Chain A
Amino acid sequence: MFVDVRNLSKHFAPTGFSRGPTVRAVEDVSFGIPRGKVVGLVGESGSGKTTIGRSVLRLIEPTSGEVRIDGTDIRVLSAAELRKARQRMQYVFQDPYASLSPRMTIGQILTEGMDIQKLGTKADRRRKAAEVLALVEMPEDALNRYPHEFSGGQRQRIGLARALALEPEFIVADEPVSALDVSIQAQVINLMRDLQLRLGLTMLFISHDLAVVEYICDTVVVLYLGRVMEIAPAADLYAHPQHPYTRALLSAIPSPDPEKRKQRQILTGDIPSPSSPPSGCVFRTRCPMAASECAVVNPAMKSAGEGHFYACLRV
């Protein structure tokens, strides 16, 4: 595995003026990403998907567990070593409006990472900026313009270009198309897929939307309240979902095809707070199949075919 996440947990203890219980944002999560493959992390609010993404690049410190990238345990790296390692791993943010500095030209935005890493000469950096801009199918004259001159879709392309400028091997993309219009989402996903294949990138793709990750991901991890409910190869997950939560999540996505408007299964109740997760299986309070044992036993992963695992006592 190029990226190997084992038993990752992240708890947020109350700090400063906040009181109350510890938030268990991520609890015992394990998954791997083979080199050149894409894994999707999918879940609703409070599922811990962003916390996992940030822990994997050590933008926040995990509470326990191991994260290895290309064999290196990133938790033991010194600050200097981490900075060096970060060149090989990049983060793409959700909001193309908030993640680009309004006072910098696109050229400055694209060369900033190379400046920090002290890569090449000034001319080299400028050349590289033009090159990645072409990769994301943007015109070269964009280099001297400012972010506000571009649409949301174009800004997200610039965000991608910034990540690619350092020639990373591994990218964490956190909801990269969620802020974009439908007609633009597909363009950006196609571009990401194309670049991922051409450059052989390894990617962790985070989304709240199961429909969005299907095309780009080889494997999908379904999360609920910081825990893994199901992991499966993409094709298998959509064709044969096992976990009741995965099924409910798929069923809740409104379908634009009137003839496919199946009898929907609507989950009752709210997502519990990650500061007081239910005992046993965390999904049991909303699960249509829950039984008394679900409140007692924390379900272990079961296999449902190659690379397909789910955590449910009842299925």
Chain B
Amino acid sequence: MGAPVLEIAGLRTVFRIAGRELAAVADIDLAIASGETLALVGESGSGKSVTSLSIMGLLPRRVARIEAGEIRLRRRSGAVERLTMLDDEGLRQLRGNEIGMIFQEPMTSLNPVYTVGEQIAEPIRIHQRLPRREAAARAVRLLADVGIPDPERRARQFPHELSGGMRQRVTIAMALACDPELLIADEPTTALDVTIQAQVLELLQQLQRDRGMAILFVTHNLGVVAEIADRVAVMYAGRIVETGPVAEVFAHPRHPYTRGLLASIPRLGEAVKLKERGEPLPAIAGSVPSLMRLPAGCAFAPRCPMEIPACRAAVPTLEQVGPERRARCIRWEEV
């Protein structure tokens, strides 16, 4: 792996809840290189979105802050910026410029009273100081790049005139307008129909081949991870519990949570066989713990089929379990 575009070390982000400061994410270490896609995967409350908001500097300031750790971005110039040291203005200059962002709901990321062409041109005018007309021409080219037919006409339309899939293509065009080094995509296909999701995933892969940006892809969908990512970091209750190349992690998970999660995804054509044999679908018992009531030791222990008393003694460390692979389980060798 080349020098990373994004590097996170020891990130700990806390939220003030009911007078206490609780860690929504802790001990996060991550690195992503140019041209690489890292998927951050987890269920609700796992901390995957808090991690991405921490990077972008978009945490709700009144209740949340980064308590410890470093987030470093290698800038276009080659200089390494410590994002955790930047003020609001410094972060604003990076967002939409060297860090592109796409979110789940395209309609809420787009402004309903501006045409899509104006919205794509805006970051180009602000960050690259291009004149209005040139920025508008660039916006039309970007619409073509993201596969929107008849881009001149579409650029003059408003978001409500486009379908959900088209709108998400528009937000991708906006995110890529300034040719970012890093694209953060937070559940970008979750609100889309499955046939449209397939189109958008293919588009993102093609754009990455053409432009070579690093992608941090946040999702709850392991199928999407397998389609799009090179490496995966699985999160549970605010910590990374397993990380490594997607193919290896999915073929031989080393954490019982990863294994359980993979088993509970419905496999086409398999469920019918289980039903015919009278067997239940594989599931993980219990539910994800709340931040307010995290169990002592390993947070997954109460739901884990392999739990032993030692699991409750301390939070396990993220151990090296193979080349480029780590898992946070004291019994990883038996998984």
Contact = CB atoms under 8 A, between A and B. Distances in A.
Interface in B290-305: none
10 contacts: A151-B287, A181-B43, A187-B285, A189-B281, A254-B221, A256-B222, A258-B246, A264-B198, A270-B163, A286-B195
B198 A186 contact: no
A238 B272 contact: yes
B312 to A, nearest CB: 21
A303 interface: no
Contacts of A194: 280
A59 interface: no
Interface of B: 43-44, 163-166, 193-199, 201-202, 220-227, 246-247, 250-251, 260-262, 264-269, 271-272, 274-276, 280-285, 287-288
Given A185-B264, A268-B199, 8 more contacts: A44-B195, A182-B220, A209-B194, A211-B267, A211-B268, A234-B272, A249-B195, A256-B225
A13 interface: no
A104 interface: no
A29 B285 CA distance: 39
Contacts of B44: 152, 181
Nearest to B219: A254
Contacts of B198: 251-252, 254, 264, 266-267
Interface in A35-54: 44-45
Nearest to B199: A266
The B interface, classified by DSSP as helix, strand, loop or mixed, is helix
A214 B267 CA distance: 9
A255 interface: yes
Contact of B271 (A214, A248, A259, A286): A214
A182 B274 contact: no
A226 B272 CA distance: 26
A250 interface: yes
B8 to A, nearest CB: 24
A186 B282 contact: yes
B283 A183 contact: yes
Contact of B272 (A208, A215, A261, A286): A215
Nearest to B162: A270
Contacts of B272: 214-215, 234-235, 238
A267 B195 contact: yes
A261 to B, nearest CB: 7
A256 B223 contact: yes
A184 to B, nearest CB: 6
B275 A215 contact: yes
A241 to B, nearest CB: 10
B293 to A, nearest CB: 11
A271 interface: yes
B226 A256 contact: yes
Interface in A227-261: 234-235, 238-239, 248-259, 261
A310 B224 CA distance: 29
A255 B223 contact: yes
A164 interface: no
Nearest to B276: A235
A190 interface: yes
Contacts of A193: 275, 280
